[in-house]
Amino acid sequence: MTGRTFINLLMLTQLLFLLSPPAVAFDEDAFISGEYDNDTPSAESDQKGGESSKESNADAPEETARTEIASGPAFSGRFENQLTLLAMKDDTDKVQKHVYDYLLIQLDMDAALAKNIELKADGVARIFAGDAQFGMSEIVPPRTTGRALQQNPALAALLMTPYAFENRAWLDNAYVKIPVGNFLLTIGKQPLGQGAGYVWNPTDVFVQKDMLDPTYQQEGIVAARLVVPMGRTSFDFVAASPDNDFDNWVGGGRFQFPLGPVQFSVVAYHTRTQMINVQNALNGTPMTNHMRLMMGGDAVIDFEGVRLWGEAAYNQVKNEKNYTEAEGGLEYYFPFETHLMVEYFYYGRGPLQQNGSYDLNSWINVLEGQLKMLGRHFLFESLEHPVADFWSIGLSSFQALSDGSAMVEADIKWDFTEDAQMWFMVAKGFGGREDFLANSLQSWLRLTMYY
């Protein structure tokens, strides 16, 4: 199926549903409360043991009457400060230590306009202090660097360019939710994270999660989104510009439906895939950009206290090799309140080591977010247990099975007030110097407060 044929089918499906009444009335309260997006501070509880954001709203309360009079804006926000220690070996095997801090302020605004229209916006500012600049020799292994320079000595200037975190202020989200009959239209920069997985989401073409903090709030995407709810069934159509650039647009949708105790989603998106080529960067054309058609879906079931899920996608890419992504996992709360989670991920696009190392292009693309991981097979395990009122400890591990490297993470969380948390985390990599997860030791102390 070509991308044009797929978009035509989506438009035809949308037209059919616009001409026919839905099975149940549109539940505006459920949508505004966040059922169809993930922009609330409680995203972690939705992902880890709470009710999934993908689950049914069959038990939701009936819609209450709403005034047609616009109300003034309500303001809230988030304060966050994180002190980080990061240690990595350079090309001489000397450990380079970096200590830096960032301060983040977020201001959220919610306003109820006339005719049940909702306006939401939040701005974020983040500033860094300390040593937040890293040499490329700490990130790219020495054998990889040596091979690249042997092939093209002109790359030396590129490899000497440091990688740094920069101060930034940005509009994280700004969108309106407009009821259109029994449907709901959302326009603007909005949260679009999708999929059933916790760490990895093969069907998500919009955002990429932080491996060490998968529930961290992601920046919104400029998009127009039409949701057609029909009880436990819904259609979700999206046209988006992930890079604020119409040359890299996304169009498609997701159909969610129950089948017995299983909640399914079928999804397809037409987008583009990008890849950096460092050799071409010297000629001023570092990026390749090819059309991509992603088709996939996910399934979630709760069976006797165990939550199981699976998600997969097939990616058809023009002028590149097609590839598959798939993941599956489970979570369970033991009677003694310990929370267990396990997830496996297969990444068909992931490059493999050649002669014991990855190439320079692979490292640069994973650093810039064009590749999710290095390697093909990954495993995540997590245990979390409350040790006292408002205190919990956790232990998790990531394994890159293709090269044998791993990262182990231990943390302590203290919810010292209803809207504030202190989080101390230590993560250590294990494996050979040329492996994906080996060369890092990092720790942070993060204070987050909502107001």
Here the CATH number for the domain that contains residue 357 is 2.40.160.10
Per-residue pLDDT tens digits for 140-197 = 999 999 998 988 888 888 888 888 999 999 999 999 999 998 899 999 999 998 899 9
| DSSP β-bridge partners for residue 315 | 294, 323
CA-to-CA distance for 289 and 281, rounded, in angstroms? Answer: 14
Q: What is the dihedral of CA 350, 352, 358, 360, to 10 degrees?
A: -40
Q: What is the mean pLDDT of the chain?
A: 85
Expressed as residue numbers, the domain containing 440 is 3-450
- 3-class secondary-structure state, position 296: strand
pTM of the model: 0.83
> Which range, of 146-150, 156-160, 369-373, 378-382, averages the lowest pLDDT?
156-160
Q: Residue 48 has which token pair? A: 């880890």
CA-to-CA distance for 208 and 58, rounded, in angstroms? Answer: 30
For residues 123-152, give the mean pLDDT: 93
pLDDT score at 249: 83
pLDDT score at 69: 54
The number of domains in the chain is: 1
Give the pairing of strands 441-450 and 118-130. unpaired
How sure is the predictor about 27, in pLDDT bands with cuts at 50, 70 and 90?
Answer: very low
pLDDT score at 66: 42
Q: Residue 10 has which token pair? A: 């989506």
Per-residue pLDDT tens digits for 66-115 = 445 567 799 999 999 999 999 999 988 899 999 999 999 999 999 999 88
CA-to-CA distance for 118 and 125, rounded, in angstroms? Answer: 24
pLDDT score at 11: 41
Task: Say if residues 253 and 237 touch (Cβ distance below 8 Å).
Answer: yes
Per-residue pLDDT tens digits for 291-323 = 999 999 999 999 999 999 999 999 999 988 999
| DSSP β-bridge partners for residue 239 | 224, 251
pLDDT score at 56: 35
Helical ranges in 124-276 per DSSP H: 136-139, 142-151, 156-159
